[in-house]
Amino acid sequence: MALTATLYHWKITLSDVERGVYESIDLRIARHPSESLRYLVTRAIAYALSYEEGIAFSKGGISSTDEAPVFVRDLTGALMAWFEIGSPSAERLHKAAKAAPRVALFTAANLDNLRAEADAGAIHRAHEIMVWQFDPAFLDSVGERLERTMPLELVYSSGRLYVTIGKTVLEGEVACSPLTSAQ
């Protein structure tokens, strides 16, 4: 018998001070049985910190090779942004940069090898791909406190992310920089 996805329903109050985005997001996110909790948390944070009209999760879930885990389409259906999660291959980021005008990577992984490939020219427009780097311990700490249905608050300001779950406030640094400086 195949395992099924677990549905999470979070009511997120988002305050993204950097972009001036203040929204209430009713987020429903399916966790595939093979998906780590850290990946799920990163995917949810990527969605919130990239929130804009037309944002969505891939219909194929985390196993989709043709779609971004999180993306933005305009009203005509054109792909406007591709948000990758975790540790994608250079080939996958290259494909993303060819498919969408804006690409970002949200990760807690060590990117030394990926940056080396980008510096070698293996990734189209690598200097335009923004990398949002999180501390793995911070993501794990958030994940340990999550329930399937709950309200939470995310505040992003001055390179810091504050996640309030109940009466607990978790704080983590977010390093945001281009994948490579080479053009």
pTM score: 0.94
- Neighbour-count burial of 49, counting CB atoms closer than 10 A to its CB (0-12 exposed, 13-18 middle, 19+ buried): buried
Name the band, by pLDDT with cuts 50, 70 and 90, for residue 163. Answer: very high
Whether pLDDT at 19 is above 90: yes
- Quickly state the pLDDT bin for 65 (edges 50, 70, 90): confident
pLDDT at 1 over 60: no
Please enumerate in sequence order all residues whose Cβ is within 8 A of that of 33, keeping only pairs 6 or more positions apart, or say none: 3, 4, 5, 6
Q: What is the pLDDT of residues 72-107, one digit of tens each?
A: 999 999 999 999 999 999 999 999 999 999 999 999
**pLDDT for the residue numbered 15:** 98
Helices 136-145 & 37-49, crossing angle to 10 degrees?
100
CA pair distance 79, 63, nearest whole angstrom: 19
Count CB-CB contacts under 10 A for residue 56. 12
Mean pLDDT score, 6-16: 97
Say which range, 42-56, 57-71, 119-133, 164-178, has the weakest mean pLDDT. 57-71
Q: Is the pLDDT score of 162 beyond 70? A: yes
Count each helix (H run) and each strand (E run) in the chain, helices first. Answer: 4, 10
Report pLDDT for 2: 61
Average predicted confidence (pLDDT) for the chain: 93
Instruction: Please report the sign of the dihedral spanned by the C-alpha atoms of residue 139, residue 144, residue 148, residue 151.
Output: negative
- pLDDT surpassing 80 at residue 182: no
> What's phi and psi for 112, nearest 5 deg?
-55, -45
Mean pLDDT, residues 12-37: 95
* pLDDT (mean) for 113-122: 89
Give the C-alpha separation, 119 to 101, whole Å: 20
pLDDT band with cut points at 50, 70 and 90 for residue 62:
low
Name all domains of the chain by residue range, CATH numbers in brackets. 6-178 (3.10.640.10)
